[in-house]
Chain A
Amino acid sequence: MRRIFWRIALYTSVLLVTTIILAPVCWMFIMSVSSMTDLTARPMQWLPATMDFSRYRMLLTFEPNSPGEIFLLALRNTFLAAAGASILSLIVGFPAAYSFSRLPGRRAPLLYLVLSTYMLPSAALILPIYIALSAFGLLNTPFSLAVVYCSIVLPFVVWLLTGNLNTLPREIDQAAAMDGANLWQTIRHVVLPLSGAAIGTAALFGLLLAWDEFFFSLILTNDLRAKTLSVAIADFAAGRATDYPLIATAGLLSALPPVFIAFFLQRSLVKGLAAGSVKG
């Protein structure tokens, strides 16, 4: 009897958690395929009379001066900035993480310093960055945004990779050294292949962090040459436009790439989160 009660409580709780996670997102989808009349009806009809996918088509066709143009250009800018920041951070972050993990000397304080720069509020850096970029005429380009995003992505990448490298036994490096490999060969042929999953996780995290960024983009971009999705969505949401289904569609579409990536690499994401945090 107690067992049955326990099972019921368990499944009820699971159902509750699932609903809490899914319901808002499902509602956003329902909004995106509803008409305004469906949405404004009282009492609320939860399901629209007909599914209307016209907003998806509208946002995904490139036409001058349309929401589609805004959306697609913002998508391109976001991708350039996020991928740029991720790649740049991996290129310089991996050697840094390796030196934190392997080279002699007390580097722990330095690692914590790097970690704390990741936590620094963007507001602390925005003014000089703005003044400097405007002096060089580099405001409003996705590439300067990519470099600025490194202030967020790079410390996190270093932190994550160092944690992961620490879980690789040092004996592997030593064995390679015994076989006559120099430092570069050890990294190239031994450590790098073994860190594939960690690098994937770090790249994924870099993309997610940069895709999510808002503050820098809001201030450092001002039109479609560089404006990213997060700022475009905020504009949509705050604008006088009352086409709420369109706003919901734009939100859903711009959430798709990061959600898709996160689910695809879920295993290494969870593992990386856990390993990174346990190791600090």
Chain B
Amino acid sequence: MFIIVLGVTGYPLLQTIWLSFHSRPLAGHDVQADWVGLANFKTVLENAAFRAAVARTLYFTIVSVLAEAMIGVMVALLLDQEFRGRAFVRALLVLPLAMPTVVSAMMWRLIYNPEYGAFNALLLQIGLIDDYRSWLGAPGLAMNMVIIAEVWKNFSIVAIIVLAALQTIPRELYEAATIDGAGPWARFRNVTWPGILAPLSVALVLRTIEAFKVFDIFYVMTRGGPANTTKTATFFVYDESFAFLRAGSASSYALVVVAISMVLIAIYVRLLRRQDQP
């Protein structure tokens, strides 16, 4: 296993670090790579557009993960109740999860279509808007519209994990709490919350880290537009390497993204380990 992990992860990562200190064109394999020290990092960190992209990516990450957490927990609590057709609705949760990201992005792009998208038609027919709008073409709006698509796709992961945790909470605990005079809120606070906290935070680990490296959903829905307002950090790596063909500085962009991801990963791994050893 370690050979494969080293081959597809370890070696490329070290190579990326090496590249980031060099100036090298992308094409060819025996081309000259000149040592440039920290110059690439200087370019990257002084690039205001890139700093804005990082802030944008953090906004996307925080808003969508918070929304996924809230909606996910609420849906899980709902599906933990007794009602007819519960098995069916629970099974439905798998649908957005199994839908490929690119397909879901494409689907939402069509729904938001400015000329005849279903979103425009729906809002117009119930009277919320007067005329069709370009949801993905308006600079202030596009990011939030992509967030809706992202939340639709991923809230169910949180819901499934929390729902599974809810089912491990013994019913007697709720009964005992009720007998002790605890109201619904106190029962949630003292019985439900401690039971779902650990799995919930682990679910949010994965979501946060996935959301921060986002690329595909934006690539399909907006290509970073309009006016670069949805250009996330990963786009800089992509453009620098495969549009401008500069492997050295592209690696520096990549490493900045990695560094931020590492901070997120470290925070959550600590969280995870603390829960493993109560």
Using a CB–CB distance below 8 Å, which chain A residues touch chain B?
10-11, 13-14, 17-18, 20-22, 24-25, 27-28, 31, 39-44, 46, 88, 92-93, 95-96, 108, 112, 114-117, 119-132, 134-135, 147-148, 150-151, 154-155, 158, 208, 211-212, 214-215, 218-219, 229-231, 233-234, 236-238, 244, 247-248, 251-252, 254-255, 258-259, 261-263, 266, 269-271, 273-274, 277-280
| Given contact pairs A125-B16, A251-B107, A262 touches B97 in the complex (Cβ within 8 A) | yes
Cβ of B63 within 8 Å of any chain A Cβ, yes or no, is: no
Write the chain B residue with the least CB distance to A116. Answer: B265
Q: Is the CB of A271 within 8 A of B164?
A: yes
Q: Could you tell me the dominant secondary structure of chain B's interface residues? A: helix
Q: Is the CB of B9 within 8 A of A125?
A: yes
CA of A153 to CA of B16 in the docked complex: distance in angstroms?
21
16 further interface pairs, Cβ-Cβ under 8 Å (given A22-B95, A108-B276, A214-B101):
A21-B92, A28-B107, A116-B262, A117-B5, A121-B234, A123-B237, A128-B12, A131-B15, A154-B1, A154-B5, A212-B101, A233-B103, A244-B110, A259-B99, A261-B98, A277-B199
CA of A259 to CA of B97 in the docked complex: distance in angstroms?
8
Q: Mark B120-144, 1 if CB is under 8 A from A, else 0.
A: 0110110000000000000000000
Write the chain B residue with the least CB distance to A93. Answer: B1
| Given contact pairs A237-B109, A262-B98, A129 touches B12 in the complex (Cβ within 8 A) | yes
| Given contact pairs A40-B116, A251-B103, A127 touches B164 in the complex (Cβ within 8 A) | no
Q: Is the CB of A214 within 8 A of B152?
A: no
Q: Is the CB of B102 within 8 A of A14?
A: no
Write the chain B residue with the least CB distance to A157. Answer: B1
Choose the segment among B36-44, B47-55, B185-193, B212-220 that binds chain A (4+ C-beta atoms closer than 8 Å): B212-220
Which residues of A have CB within 8 Å of B81?
Answer: 10
Q: Is the CB of B107 within 8 A of A24?
A: yes
Write the chain B residue with the least CB distance to A129. Answer: B12
Q: Is the CB of A278 within 8 A of B1?
A: no
Which residues of B have CB within 8 Å of A17?
Answer: 75, 78-79, 89
Question: Quick one: which of B106, B212, B215 has the most chain A CB within 10 A?
Answer: B106
CA of A231 to CA of B16 in the docked complex: distance in angstroms?
25
CA of A241 to CA of B96 in the docked complex: distance in angstroms?
26
Which residues of A have CB within 8 Å of B157?
Answer: 273
Q: Is the CB of A124 within 8 A of B116?
A: no
Q: Is the CB of A124 within 8 A of B100?
A: no
Q: Is the CB of A212 within 8 A of B100?
A: yes
Q: Is the CB of B213 within 8 A of A278?
A: no
Cβ of B58 within 8 Å of any chain A Cβ, yes or no, is: no
| Given contact pairs A117-B5, A155-B5, A251-B107, A135 touches B95 in the complex (Cβ within 8 A) | no
- A112: contacting residue among B4, B238, B269, CB under 8 A: B269
CA of A148 to CA of B11 in the docked complex: distance in angstroms?
12
CA of A127 to CA of B216 in the docked complex: distance in angstroms?
18
Cβ of B273 within 8 Å of any chain A Cβ, yes or no, is: yes
A-B contact count (CB 8 A): 264
| Given contact pairs A24-B108, A40-B116, A280 touches B258 in the complex (Cβ within 8 A) | no
Q: Is the CB of B100 within 8 A of A254?
A: yes
Which residues of B have CB within 8 Å of A150?
Answer: 4, 8
Which residues of B have CB within 8 Å of A10?
Answer: 78, 81, 83
Cβ of B177 within 8 Å of any chain A Cβ, yes or no, is: no
CA of A120 to CA of B156 in the docked complex: distance in angstroms?
23
Cβ of B66 within 8 Å of any chain A Cβ, yes or no, is: no
Q: Is the CB of B116 within 8 A of A277?
A: no
CA of A246 to CA of B218 in the docked complex: distance in angstroms?
21
- In angstroms, how far is the closest chain B Cβ from the Cβ of A106? 12
Q: Is the CB of B124 within 8 A of A43?
A: yes
Which residues of A have CB within 8 Å of B85?
Answer: 14
Q: Is the CB of A270 within 8 A of B164?
A: yes
CA of A13 to CA of B161 in the docked complex: distance in angstroms?
20
Q: Can you list 21 A-B contacts with CB-CB less than 8 angstroms, sorted by A residue number?
A: A10-B81, A14-B78, A14-B79, A17-B89, A25-B95, A39-B116, A43-B124, A120-B261, A122-B215, A124-B13, A124-B254, A128-B16, A131-B26, A135-B29, A233-B100, A233-B102, A247-B106, A248-B107, A261-B98, A262-B98, A274-B160
Which residues of A have CB within 8 Å of B118?
Answer: 27, 44
Q: Is the CB of A123 within 8 A of B13?
A: no
CA of A179 to CA of B18 in the docked complex: distance in angstroms?
53
Which residues of A have CB within 8 Å of B89?
Answer: 14, 17-18
